[in-house]
């Protein structure tokens, strides 16, 4: 039962982005003022218990981390299973560089950018999604209620033109309703499963476009900031990439390994990423890295580029979602208009047939 409660607490903590972000910022503040990590966590844990109780998710999380850290584990190791891999990677880079407080602030910054991107996506898709559900409801009402009643009055062979097309479409919907409703769900499941696992082939091309480009932007910027932290700590670039490759997803690992192969052949990180053919993290970013890799202060430039890219990407995605919003509303509007016009055509033909004026 205790293990089950711990798993539930981990799940709650992983989805509690706002609480997690506040925790990283508080911890960064304490560390920046010279408080040792275990003492800082103990202070935050005790205050959380007094405020929310021992069963609070954040308090349970910190209690588990403290137990592991007192047994010799680092913070980045102790939080395994409690946070996303991207957050763990950033915090591990901060431990390696000796700037854990700065790394925690970077983690909170990346989380805020991710929140803005998610808000842009949800905001852009919510209203079109409602409209699509409305159109689907109208389609089902036409297919199962209205058109079958019309067909009971007028035989199928008497319908012509748009009215006949409407009857055919209604018959198609009733015959394939399971596929029509189930296919989008299967596509969504396949999409979510493929994000960290599908790494080569056509994925290289689809990474350039929504919705896969959002995943590339988030994880690419996180990788750049983590890489900059390690290089700034004096870690050799190849060793830094090897550390970032540990526990990376298959998608990320394929891109890191391609960069490593290029660097081992004598190329700088920018040129190695260009030669890999993955277009990771972004073609313009790759060009910038090729320039800055030849100059001093590469780690600072890398971190700056990553942060600027996140900001620009949020604005770009917001613009994309506005475009998708407009296209979706237009599509739904046209679909409903077509169904309504088909219904009018059926009414006119049925009236003419009933009056004996339609041949």
Domain locations in the chain as residue ranges = 2-83, 84-359
What is the C-alpha R_g of the chain?
28
Tell me what pLDDT residue 262 has: 92
| Number of neighbours of residue 168 by Cβ within 10 angstroms | 12
Tell me what pLDDT residue 91 has: 87
Q: For the whole model, what pTM was predicted?
A: 0.69
215 within 8 A of 250, measured Cβ to Cβ: no
Q: Which two tokens stand for residue 308?
A: 């600027």
- The CA distance from 100 to 35, in Å, is 12
Any residues with CB less than 8 A from the CB of 298 and at least 6 apart, and which? 231, 292
Nearest-10 crossing angle of helices 100-141, 85-97: 170
Nearest 10 degrees: Cα torsion 297, 301, 304, 310:
-150
Tell me what pLDDT residue 2 has: 59
Average pLDDT across each block of 10 residues of the chain; the chain has 359 residues. List them in order.
76 87 93 92 93 90 93 91 82 82 84 76 76 80 81 77 81 85 89 92 90 84 77 77 85 93 89 90 86 77 77 78 80 81 80 65
| Number of neighbours of residue 264 by Cβ within 10 angstroms | 10
Scanning the structure block, which residue is given the tokens 């082939």?
Answer: 201
């Amino acid at each position: 039962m205790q293990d089950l409660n711990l798993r539930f607490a981990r799940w709650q903590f992983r989805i509690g982005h706002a609480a997690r972000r506040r925790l990283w910022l508080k911890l960064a503040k304490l560390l920046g003022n010279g408080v040792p990590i275990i003492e800082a966590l103990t202070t935050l844990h005790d205050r959380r218990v007094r405020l929310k109780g021992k069963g609070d998710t954040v308090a349970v999380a910190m209690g588990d981390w403290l137990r592991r850290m007192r047994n010799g584990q680092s913070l980045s190791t102790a939080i395994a299973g409690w946070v996303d891999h991207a957050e763990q990677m950033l915090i591990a880079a901060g431990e390696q560089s000796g700037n854990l407080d700065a790394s925690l602030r970077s983690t909170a910054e990346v989380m805020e950018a991710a929140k803005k991107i998610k808000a842009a996506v949800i905001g852009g898709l919510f209203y079109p999604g409602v409209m699509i559900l409305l159109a689907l409801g109208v389609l089902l009402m036409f297919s199962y209620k209205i058109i079958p009643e019309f067909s009971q009055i007028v035989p199928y062979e008497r319908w012509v033109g748009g009215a006949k097309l409407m009857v055919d479409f209604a018959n198609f919907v009733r015959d394939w309703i399971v596929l029509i409703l189930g296919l989008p769900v299967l596509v969504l499941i396949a999409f979510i499963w493929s994000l960290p696992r599908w790494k080569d082939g056509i994925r290289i091309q689809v990474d350039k476009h929504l919705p896969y480009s959002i995943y590339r932007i988030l994880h690419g910027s996180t990788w750049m900031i983590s890489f900059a932290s390690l290089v700034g700590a004096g870690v050799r670039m190849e060793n830094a990439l090897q550390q970032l490759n540990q526990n990376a997803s298959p998608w990320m690992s394929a891109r890191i390994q391609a960069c490593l192969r290029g660097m081992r052949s004598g190329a700088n990180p920018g040129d190695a990423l260009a030669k890999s053919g993955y277009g990771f993290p972004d073609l313009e970013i790759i060009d910038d890295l090729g320039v800055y890799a030849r100059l001093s202060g590469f780690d600072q430039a890398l971190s700056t580029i990553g942060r600027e890219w996140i900001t620009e990407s949020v604005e770009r995605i917001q613009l994309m979602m506005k475009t998708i919003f407009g296209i979706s509303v237009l599509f739904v509007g046209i679909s409903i208009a077509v169904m309504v016009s088909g219904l009018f055509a059926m009414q006119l033909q049925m009236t003419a047939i009933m009056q004996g004026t339609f041949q």
